[in-house]
Amino acid sequence: MPRIRLWLATAALAISGCGGPFPQSTLHPRSDFARGTDALFTDIFWWAAAVFVVVELMLLVAIVRFRHREGRAAPRPTHGHTLMEIGWTLAPAVILVFVAVPTVRTIFATAGEAPADALKVDVIGHQWWWEFRYPELALVTANELHVPLGRVVQLSITSADVIHSFWAPPLGGKRDAIPGHMTRIAFRPDSVGDYSGQCAEFCGASHANMRLRVIVDSDSGFGRWATVQLAGPAAPAPGTLAERGRAVFARSACIGCHTIQGVSPGVIGPNLTHVGSRTTIASGLFPNDSAHLARWIADAPSLKPGSLMTRMQPPLTDADIAALGAYLQSLK
């Protein structure tokens, strides 16, 4: 009984790994780039499956037919069989051709230049967050990349410090972010949605916490988002907690690191001009609500190892933190 229970528990654990959800799966493509690589993966999978079946069948035949039997003469070895040697040389070569040709075609298709009307976005990796710059729109945001449905998007990717790797699995393959070097990836999203991504190159203590989100909007939805992002943040109403939070922001170290349009020019940390409209904070690590925001402001390194946003000295009071959080959440 204990052994049966152990087997059942092991089987249950193995099956539970197939239950999902899988928000960062490459097997649910949502762009032309992702569909091309998914089709290539599927083709190669079936070739590999066919090879596996043939090899295993030949192995089983050999095991059964030539198994040891009392009184039976030893099988006669075959040596120097020309047709067999030609066959086992040509068969793998043919299979490799059927694998190599679509692979090379997909590589060229996904590495080609984006069309002139593509939306261009500069992606800059930081320890440990993502900066997104839209040069044609003259806007900057962080960690949540908005793109329009049905339009080619070209990402030009680099790094401000160490090597990172940009990866949004449902939309495209990985591209390294290398200091002083530019890599590119282009894709055309075909489904509206919110897609999770991740830094895919170990880059330090919070590598696993360097997340990102790609939000594919309808064409009109993207236009509305861009219009809001280009506008400066509305001033908080007089006498409100948010107005007090703006004063806290202006007299604390926040103003030296973060940009808020019309308020502060800091460039070290993420742009906070419309941080209240984002669904997450800390590069996708926590939901953007008052509780998590207050904890993040109070002591970011305790929540995200290695965070460059150190605890302010002297520490902010709980009242100041609450006011600052209210102000940041008002920036929509």
What is the pLDDT confidence band of residue 266, given thresholds at 50, 70 and 90?
A: confident
Exposed e or buried b for every residue in 245-284, given b needs 16+ CB within 10 A?
A: bbebbeeeebeeebbbbebbebeebbbbbbbbbbebbbbb
To the nearest 10 degrees (0 to 180), the angle between helices 290-298 and 318-329 is: 130
**If you average pLDDT over every residue of the chain, what do you get?**
89
Strand partners, 189: 31
Phi, psi of 47 (to 5 degrees): -65, -45
Is the confidence at residue 1, as pLDDT, over 80? no
- Alpha-carbon span 124 to 161, nearest angstrom: 9
Residue partners of 44: CB distance under 8 A and separation at least 6:
99, 103
Average pLDDT over residues 287-296: 92
95-137 confidence digits (pLDDT tens): 999 999 999 999 888 887 788 899 999 999 999 999 999 999 9
198-212 confidence digits (pLDDT tens): 999 999 999 999 999
The more confidently predicted of residues 189 and 110 is 189
Residue partners of 53: CB distance under 8 A and separation at least 6:
none
Q: Identify the DSSP state of 31.
A: B
241-329 matches 119-229 in CATH topology: yes
Structure confidence at residue 309 (pLDDT): 85
Question: How do the domains of the chain map onto residue ranges?
Answer: 119-229, 241-329
* Amino acid letter for position 5: R
- Alpha-carbon span 120 to 156, nearest angstrom: 8
268: left (phi over 0), alpha (psi -120 to 50) or beta: alpha
Q: Are 25 and 198 in contact (CB under 8 A)?
A: no
Structure confidence at residue 87 (pLDDT): 86
32-91 confidence digits (pLDDT tens): 999 999 999 999 999 999 999 999 999 999 888 888 888 777 777 777 788 888 888 998
127-175 confidence digits (pLDDT tens): 999 999 999 999 999 999 999 999 999 999 999 999 999 999 999 889 9
- Alpha-carbon span 71 to 291, nearest angstrom: 81
The more confidently predicted of residues 215 and 172 is 215
Angle at 313 between CA 142 and CA 237, to 5 degrees: 55
The more confidently predicted of residues 1 and 103 is 103
Structure confidence at residue 73 (pLDDT): 79
Tokens of 206: 């919070």
Going by C-alpha positions, the residue among 300, 325, 290, 267 that lies closest to residue 142 is: 267
pTM assigned to the model? 0.84
Structure confidence at residue 198 (pLDDT): 93
Q: Specify the CATH architecture of the domain 241-329.
A: Sandwich (2.60)
Structure confidence at residue 312 (pLDDT): 77
Cis check for the bond before 225: say yes or no (omega within 30 of 0).
no
- Alpha-carbon span 160 to 126, nearest angstrom: 6
Is the confidence at residue 249, as pLDDT, over 70? yes
CA 59 to chain centre: 42
The CA dihedral of 72, 74, 76, 77, to the nearest 10 degrees, is 150
Helix residue ranges per DSSP H, 69-125? 82-111
The CA dihedral of 13, 14, 16, 18, to the nearest 10 degrees, is 170
What is the pLDDT confidence band of residue 233, given thresholds at 50, 70 and 90?
A: confident
CATH topology for 119-229? Immunoglobulin-like (2.60.40)
pLDDT above 70 as % of the chain: 99
Whole-angstrom CA distances from 116 to 119, 186, 260, 332 are 9, 12, 32, 32
